[in-house]
Amino acid sequence: MILFFLTSGLFLGWSLGANDASHIFGSAVGSKMVTFRKAAIIASVFFILGAVIQGSGTSHTLGKLGAINAIGGSFTLALAAAITIYMMTKFALPISTTQAIVGAIIGWNFFTGNHTDSTTLEKIVISWIAGPIIGAVFAVLLYIVVKKFKNSARIHLIRFESYIKTGLIVVGAFGAYSLGANNIANVMGVFVPAFHLKDLDLWIFTLNSSQQLLLIGGLAVASGIITYSWKVMETIGSNILELSSEAALVVVLAQSLVLFIFSSTGLSNLIVKTGLPPIPMVPVSSSQVIVGCILGIGLYKGARNINFKILGEIGLGWIISPVASGLLTFFLLFFMKNIFGINVGSKVESISNSEQTNNLSMYGQNDVSGIIKYFLLGLLIFGTIGMVFYVLLENKKRREMQRSEEKFWKNMK
């Protein structure tokens, strides 16, 4: 039963992979500097690492917005957010999981009669506005620096492109890590307080309850990246503005920096030490940041070649997604509670429901941990076999091509 409740979170993770994670490599793939296959593998691996190592921080902010106190409630609002994102993805509109999940949490607050913390909401909404603006400023500054460097260093175009290509992979990996740390809370944040799993010993290291959930979420995101992110990558990379290779690097770097700023407690502490106010640890909407970055470069270049129609569609998506997600959550919660009789949560003061939740989660903890352990083992074995097979196949292809070339030139002589 517990695993069934988790499925909506996995679906949400898949949607996040198809949408938000694609923003990291969208410009690189759109400008054809990095192949989709390479981008998908790097984004998946680093997203999972970011989620497991550093992902529990930002879930705190969402917890403050609405403390979901029943697994049924977590399931329903994750499902509502996932359906919203899936529908938007169907129309190839880049939307933010943050907005969908925030809309869903507010919908849950309305349904259960809980108060929505206006300060936290304000912080999140400000980040929605500040994210793309900071992204645009970073993108323009970095673009100027890269252009100046390119012109003054007189590097051969092919060598410069190879640096850019390497940069795109390195920065993309950093961006995927930051996105995992920042946005995994959107997928699994609503489940973390409701689940209490046994620690999982993986011989080299041990994963606690929340890390196990974040790992499952990360794997769901990875499946979304691999199976469905291609369409969104094409929209981001090619349709808004024709991106040059250096612009593609700048966009990814600016976006990664914005994500890093909003998820690094170390940087925030450093800023506090200098006497400035702390940076809020808020899950940032990567969709808005990437559009801000691309728009910034477009405006710097003269705004002649920006596809404003697509920008308008994206803007419409930003308004529709939280509203649609909130309304859908409200109606789904109504059906879950009144037709299926599932406890979807109540006012935070109620203690009996929390106890009920804990009992339910304790009941299934051994099963879930065991399944995760065997699943990871299977994944490791299949991954290794797949990698060896891939390397052998690539080598065979290269040898055949070399043979064909040699034959061609021999015949030419």
Partner 1 sequence: MPVFTRTTKNLIIKIDEFFDDIDLGLLVFREGIKAYLDKDIDAFHRHLQKVDNLESNADRLQREIENEMITHSILPQHRSEVSTLIDELDEIIDALKSSLNEINIEMPDIPSSLNKNLISLTETSINAAEELIPAARAYFKAPYTVREKLLKVYYFESETDKLSFSTKKIIFQEMNELDLAHKAHLRYIIHHIENISDLAQKAADLLSGMAIKIVM
Q: Which residues bind partner 1 (CB under 8 A)?
A: 31-33, 35, 151, 154-159, 161-163, 165-166, 169, 244-245, 301, 401, 405, 409, 412
* Minimum gap (Å) between residue 237 Cβ and partner 1: 11
| Nearest-angstrom CA–CA distance, 390 and 413 | 35
CB nearer partner 1, residue 275 or residue 302: 302
CB nearer partner 1, residue 165 or residue 373: 165
* Minimum gap (Å) between residue 33 Cβ and partner 1: 6
* Minimum gap (Å) between residue 404 Cβ and partner 1: 10
CB nearer partner 1, residue 45 or residue 155: 155
CB nearer partner 1, residue 132 or residue 172: 172
CB nearer partner 1, residue 245 or residue 346: 245
Q: How many CA atoms lie within 13 A of 37 on its CB side?
A: 2
SS (H, E, C) the chain: CHHHHHHHHHHHHHHHHHCCCHHHHHHHHHCCCCCHHHHHHHHHHHHHHHHHHHCHHHHHHHHHHCCCCCHHHHHHHHHHHHHHHHHHHHCCCCCCHHHHHHHHHHHHHHHHCCCCCHHHHHHHHHHHHHHHHHHHHHHHHHHHHHHHHHHHHCCCHHHHHHHHHHHHHHHHHHHHHHHHHHHHHHHHCCCHHHCCCCCEECCCCEECHHHHHHHHHHHHHHHHHHHHCHHHHHHHHHHCCCCCHHHHHHHHHHHHHHHHHHHCHHHHHHHHHCCCCCCCCCCCCHHHHHHHHHHHHHHHCCCCCCCHHHHHHHHHHHHHHHHHHHHHHHHHHHHHHHCCCCCCCCCCCCCHHHHHHHHHHHHHHHHHHHHHHHHHHHHHHHHHHHHHHHHHHHHHHHHHHHHHHHHHHHHHC
Radius of gyration of the chain (CA): 23
CB nearer partner 1, residue 32 or residue 90: 32
* Minimum gap (Å) between residue 26 Cβ and partner 1: 15
CB nearer partner 1, residue 86 or residue 160: 160
CB nearer partner 1, residue 60 or residue 159: 159
CB nearer partner 1, residue 36 or residue 111: 36
> Do 88 and 223 meet the contact criterion of CB atoms below 8 Å apart?
no
* Minimum gap (Å) between residue 167 Cβ and partner 1: 9
* Minimum gap (Å) between residue 23 Cβ and partner 1: 20
Tokens of 219: 């794997």
CB nearer partner 1, residue 128 or residue 174: 174
User: Residue 103 corresponds to which amino acid?
Assistant: G
Pairing label, strands 200-201, 206-207: antiparallel
* Minimum gap (Å) between residue 304 Cβ and partner 1: 10
* Minimum gap (Å) between residue 25 Cβ and partner 1: 14
* Minimum gap (Å) between residue 162 Cβ and partner 1: 4
Could you count the other beta carbons within 10 Å of the beta carbon of residue 267? 14
* Minimum gap (Å) between residue 18 Cβ and partner 1: 24
* Minimum gap (Å) between residue 27 Cβ and partner 1: 12
| Nearest-angstrom CA–CA distance, 185 and 59 | 4
CB nearer partner 1, residue 169 or residue 181: 169
User: Residue 128 corresponds to which amino acid?
Assistant: W
